[in-house]
Structure 1
Amino acid sequence: MARPSAPVYVVGVGMTPFVKPGQEGAADYPELARIAGTRALEDAGVAYDEVEQAYVGYVYGESTSGQRAVYELGMTGIPVVNVNNNCSTGSTALFLAAQAVRSGAVDCALALGFEKMKPGSLGSTYDDREQPMLRHIELLAQISEVKFPPAPWMFGAAGREHMAEHGSEPVHFAKIGYKNHKHSVDNPYAQFQTEYTLDDILASKEIYAPLTKLQCSPTSDGAGAAILASAEFVERHGLAEQAVEIVGQAMRTDFESSLSTRRARDVIGYDMNVKAAQAVYEEAGLGPEDFQVIELHDCFSANELLLYEALGLCGEGEAPALIDAEDTTYGGRWVVNPSGGLISKGHPLGATGLAQCAELTWQLRGTADKRQVDGVEAALQHNIGLGGAVVVTAYQRAER
């Protein structure tokens, strides 16, 4: 796949702290959107009336909540597209905004995502129609014992499968939780900022073995935003010093393997992860070895382990060795989830992908404070939603 003829740049990012839902006095979604959107505009140094289109993501909310959210920034009559793609909603908004700029339709677009969630495990909203994940769940039920809530069961089953096939052990999954909680200590936006011992991770409440509570992402309230711009816009506004280029981006949805396999990893989207990553590497002219920092979708530690292999950081079955060598933290070959990831930073579904974008933008600019990774030249983002869609994005500084 050839590189796009029209480059796309992230010129401004902003987010709110991610917090536990249901707290008294917590901000409503319009306020969350206002804070994140305003911070992104201020970071870019542009006014809202220069934004020509807005793509606004959320999973839990009424129709046209996207309009209500961005009206906090201004009411300029621009197209506002409401986006809902399960846990990959935020990165889908980013993908669509980038498409709009890359196509030449606009010079400046806003991608914004927010979520105001209910405490506790995710549940369905409507019970009078087929659930979109029904076929995935029915297939997995033929492979694995059924356990509710479904999300930890589905990812936990894939973790058990890896243990049976490749010899990974519960401690490998726990080490991922340990790493991500340790990273979040230096992230003021993270829902959790507490470091735990490995024994703490292993001893926390079992959700679905090998997953314990401290290896599972929490429900969260929060918002994130990014301003995307064309080369002409960057030049006109003098933004080259802070601009981060999207050098590769791909979205993929489920392949037949997701519903015809006898493998738990395929039910949770392994094939679409692999194919999206490969498309991005080809477009960007980069390989896994060329990235220094990665934000990936660690909704559960089992998914992060599987993603090491799907994204090509190591070969199939080699993730445990990568973990034992501490190659995915500071001092290793990559720093994965310096933000704390979904496990510790939090997971407000519509905002997750845009928070990842913000973290990687700060890393590439060298402004990530105590989380800063040394010598960042390229960064990789992965965000998935079951049912299913995945977006993978590669970034470099504009001058590179």
Structure 2
Amino acid sequence: MQRCVNVIGVGMSPFSPAALSANSTALVGETARQALADAGLSARDVGCVFAASGLMDGGTLQRALEQTGLGQVPLQPLPKGEDSGGVLLYQACQAIELGLADCVLVLGMQGAPVPLPSLGAELERLGAAARQYMARYQTRRETFAMIAVKARQHAALNPLAVFVAPLTLDEVLEASTLAEPLTHPQFAWPTSGVAAVLLCSAGFARRRGNLPAVRIIAQACVSPAQVAGFDPASVFPCAGYEVHVVAARELYEQAGRGPQEVGVCELHDSSTLSELSLYEALGFCPEGSAEKLVEDGDNTYGGNLVVNPSGGLLSLGQAPAVSGLAQCIELVHHLRGNAGRRQVADVRIALQHQVGPDGTVVTTLYQRE
């Protein structure tokens, strides 16, 4: 019998455009202790550690765990090259749902920004997708740029974000073009950081939790290979669009909820094109109407839905081993009501969407108890 999964503790370091300092062991340990303190727990309460170490060496991870009192706790690391905070979170939830663990620490570490491969072909694909979308729906290039402006407005309220300098619409449009119509500020760039999330069963939360638990009410993990007719060469609206649609549909069906009930969302905005297309793939608006959603302000404060209140990947950067956990942490703060100046009012349902390096999509719905 599957069990309910709760988030009871979170901790995160600031993101950085550079490699973590030489004392990264201390930073990892400090972040893990943040999550434990947040939950009111000690290391002896943790039954298992799930870890994605990014480009960080295994010795750093082991030393950090030892310094935190977790050195003897069973460790479940993701294989090198498969570092995805979203997949890591999914695997940890599965362990609790299946009764394999009662309390799990999920730890993501990106010791250095992931080197980008040659971007020529990828940028051309994204540019082609954006131009095709514009042609089909008469969308203005300004619409994509407005998403980058919104990201910086949200990031200005987030002390852990990297790219926080405000941007005007003209500044985004006049920046160097990387893939017409998309300019430099419309892409998420590599960063590093550390994040920790404590998950537990409902029974454990009742017995030991320090704060009101945030419950995970549904979760879907869909790889491109699982989607019939998936075409990795597709350019409309962006490669892998079908995978996002399937992951969202499965999530809503599991929860018995609909996208109209979501009050806040953290989604994988690797580019402004990605974010625009995800408004439609996740069901927040019909296909072809994302421009209206953006121009009506229904993706920010005062609208029907706040998307990426953290600033998203466009402002925190892409740190594959950490980004999925950072999204979870942001949503937990909103559901608890302690997100400070970023707080989304009266939110009860939150959606997380994250894409792994291999295109696997993990979607998660959270609910305030």
Once the two structures are TM-superposed, the CA of residue 271 in structure 1 deviates from its matched residue by: 1.3
Residues 280-329 of structure 1 show CA distances to partners (whole Å, capped at 9, x for unaligned) of 11111211100110000001111000100100001111111111111100
Q: Bigger shift: 371-380 or 264-273?
A: 264-273
1:359 aligns with 2:330: yes
Q: Which of these residues, 221, 242, 249, is aligned with residue 251 of structure 1?
A: 221
> In 2, distance between residues paired with 1:349 and 1:374?
29
Q: How does 1:144-293 map to 2 (within 5 A)?
A: 148-239=119-210, 241-255=211-225, 260=231, 263-265=234-236, 268-293=239-264
Q: Give the aligned partner of residue 14 of structure 1.
A: 11
CA contact (8 A) 2:113 2:319 kept: no
**Could you tell me which amino acid in structure 1 is paired with residue 48 of structure 2?**
Q
Once the two structures are TM-superposed, the CA of residue 362 in structure 1 deviates from its matched residue by: 0.2
> In 1, distance between residues paired with 2:141 and 2:91?
38
**How many residues in Structure 1 have an aligned counterpart in Structure 2?**
368
Q: Give the aligned partner of residue 340 of structure 2.
A: 369
CA contact (8 A) 1:58 1:349 kept: no
> In 2, distance between residues paired with 1:207 and 1:310?
25
1:122 aligns with 2:119: no
CA contact (8 A) 1:58 1:90 kept: no
Q: How does 1:5-154 map to 2 (within 5 A)?
A: 5-22=2-19, 26-62=21-57, 66-83=61-78, 89-118=84-113, 122-123=116-117, 148-154=119-125
Q: 1:304 to 1:189 in 2, by over 3 A?
A: same
Q: Give the aligned partner of residue 299 of structure 1.
A: 270
CA contact (8 A) 2:8 2:212 kept: yes
Q: 1:316 to 1:53 in 2, by over 3 A?
A: same
> In 2, distance between residues paired with 1:66 and 1:251?
26
**Could you tell me which amino acid in structure 2 is paired with residue 100 of structure 1?**
A
CA contact (8 A) 2:320 2:356 kept: no
**Could you tell me which amino acid in structure 2 is paired with residue 8 of structure 1?**
V
What stretches of structure 1 of length at least 5 have no aligned partner? 124-146
Residues 24-79 of structure 1 show CA distances to partners (whole Å, capped at 9, x for unaligned) of xx355433322221111110111112111111113334467654553342244222
Q: CA RMSD in A?
A: 2.3
Q: 1:69 to 1:348 in 2, by over 3 A?
A: farther
TM-score, structure 1 as length reference: 0.86
> In 1, distance between residues paired with 2:269 and 2:51?
23
Q: 1:227 to 1:151 in 2, by over 3 A?
A: farther
**Could you tell me which amino acid in structure 2 is paired with residue 32 of structure 1?**
L
1:329 aligns with 2:324: no
CA contact (8 A) 2:16 2:193 kept: yes
CA contact (8 A) 1:57 1:66 kept: no
CA contact (8 A) 1:88 1:352 kept: no
> In 2, distance between residues paired with 1:27 and 1:370?
32
CA contact (8 A) 1:88 1:383 kept: no
CA contact (8 A) 1:364 1:376 kept: yes
> In 1, distance between residues paired with 2:81 and 2:223?
12
Identity %: 38
SS at match of 1:199: helix
Q: 1:392 to 1:65 in 2, by over 3 A?
A: farther
**Could you tell me which amino acid in structure 2 is paired with residue 242 of structure 1?**
P
Residues 333-358 of structure 1 show CA distances to partners (whole Å, capped at 9, x for unaligned) of 10000000000122222110000000
Q: 1:209 to 1:64 in 2, by over 3 A?
A: farther
> In 2, distance between residues paired with 1:385 and 1:153?
21
Once the two structures are TM-superposed, the CA of residue 22 in structure 1 deviates from its matched residue by: 4.5
